[in-house]
Amino acid sequence: MVAKQLSVFIENRQGRLGEVLNVLKTNKVNILSLSLADTTEYGLLRLIVNNPELGKEKLAKEGFSTMLTSVIVLKITHEAGSLQDLLQILAEENINIEYMYGLSIEGDEASVVLKASDLTKADEILLSHGVKTLSTEEISNL
């Protein structure tokens, strides 16, 4: 299943991240995971939230440059090598991983947000290997 990631482009200046987070807080958009990459001039904030469409709408209304991106959120066991095993499966099928980051969810499994060169194929491959993936709707219920 494919989920939606909320991405926000922000100026790399003091307090700007707090402004983004305040908009989400005010509108009750819950952050489940985030990744922040920066350069000297700007940052790219990637978020998995319970309501990505609402987050995008409210941030855009406040002047933030936002977009929704399709990603795969996959659940993996807490065992050494389990992530490498899944990445090897995708590599054997010529799927390139563009980026990934962890997702904090309670339970016996870890979750990873993954952006791949061919999401549909990657999702099919993962599902055929018994990997549980989460949709935006399932994430909203966490």
CA 41, 37, 96, 67: dihedral to nearest 10 degrees?
A: -80
Confidence of residue 3 (pLDDT cuts 50, 70, 90): very high
Q: What is the CATH number of the domain that holds 19?
A: 3.30.2130.10
Domain residue limits at 128:
71-140
58 and 97, same domain (yes or no):
no
| pLDDT above 90 for 142 | no
84 and 63, same domain (yes or no):
no
What is the DSSP code (8-state) at residue 130?
A: T
Domain end among 70, 97, 122: 70
Tokens 């998995």 belong to residue: 48
In this prediction, residues 109-116 reach a mean pLDDT of 74
14 φ, ψ (degrees, to nearest 5): -55, 130
111 and 127, same domain (yes or no):
yes
Say which residue, 9 or 39, is predicted with more confidence: 9
Single pTM value for the model: 0.79
pLDDT at residue number 105: 62
47 and 17, same domain (yes or no):
yes
122 and 90, same domain (yes or no):
yes
76 and 54, same domain (yes or no):
no
29 and 86, same domain (yes or no):
no
Q: How many domains does the chain have?
A: 2
| pLDDT above 80 for 124 | yes
43 and 63, same domain (yes or no):
yes
